């Protein structure tokens, strides 16, 4: 059975063109969904990148403070070594200060939510989240392009009646929908898309 036979069975060219119009409407809906997915992927990538940058900046500030405490403790130890005749009360004060600086340096590293170890782990998670969003984005971009071309080809078919254009539109639309679905799921990875 040829396309022309199928058109006749559907009730003629006018009835077939109504279905082509419905097809174009479905493609427009798919395009809108892909647009939302792409916009969300871009927003997620931007947000995660900003949060990762902020977290790394906080990590660096904490790490500088931790290093400063460590250096201050080392200075206290040097003071004790270079001045063995320090009176006992002064020696005790210097030892206590060195102990305090070391405990502060350890606290800066080990705090549950804001220690350097926790901040480093959080920043790495945010970078991974950003990277995933950035891997999703090209699939949405290509999906939108293919769906737009498919809509144009189907529209041109309505004007000139070339069934091959409609077939090409269907192929591009199918590929566009698959890329959009992959943008949401990342089931497969195409090296050319990232």
List, for residues 57-105, the tens digit of each pLDDT value: 999 999 999 999 999 999 999 999 999 899 999 999 999 999 999 999 9
Question: In this structure, what DSSP letter does residue 66 have?
Answer: H
* pLDDT of 3: 54
Sequence-separated (6 or more) residues with CB below 8 Å from residue 25 = none
Question: In this structure, what DSSP letter does residue 78 have?
Answer: H
Residue 186, classed as helix, strand or coil, is coil
Q: Which portions of the chain are predicted below pLDDT 50? A: 1, 7, 10
* pLDDT of 14: 81
Residue 161 phi/psi, 5-degree rounding, is: 75, 20
Terminal Cα-to-Cα distance of the chain (whole angstroms)? 42
* pLDDT of 7: 47
* pLDDT of 11: 52
80: number of Cβ within 10 Å: 15
Residue 171, classed as helix, strand or coil, is helix
């Amino acid at each position: 059975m040829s396309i022309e036979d199928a058109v006749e069975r559907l009730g003629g060219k006018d009835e077939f063109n109504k279905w082509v119009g419905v097809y174009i409407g479905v493609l427009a809906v798919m395009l809108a969904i892909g647009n939302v997915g792409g916009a969300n992927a871009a927003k997620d990538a931007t947000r995660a990148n900003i949060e990762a940058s902020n977290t790394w900046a906080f990590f660096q500030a904490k790490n500088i403070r931790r290093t400063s405490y460590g250096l201050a403790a080392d200075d206290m130890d040097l003071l004790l070594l270079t001045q063995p005749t320090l009176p006992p009360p002064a020696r005790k004060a210097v030892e206590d200060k060195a102990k305090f600086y070391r405990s502060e340096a350890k606290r800066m590293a080990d705090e549950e939510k804001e220690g350097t170890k926790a901040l480093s782990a959080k920043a790495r998670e945010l970078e991974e989240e950003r990277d995933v969003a950035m891997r999703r984005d090209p699939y949405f971009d290509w999906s939108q392009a293919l769906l737009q071309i498919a809509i144009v080809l189907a529209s041109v078919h309505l004007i000139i009646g070339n069934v091959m254009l409609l077939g090409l539109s269907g192929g591009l639309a199918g590929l566009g929908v698959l890329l959009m679905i992959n943008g949401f799921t990342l089931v497969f990875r195409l090296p050319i898309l990232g």
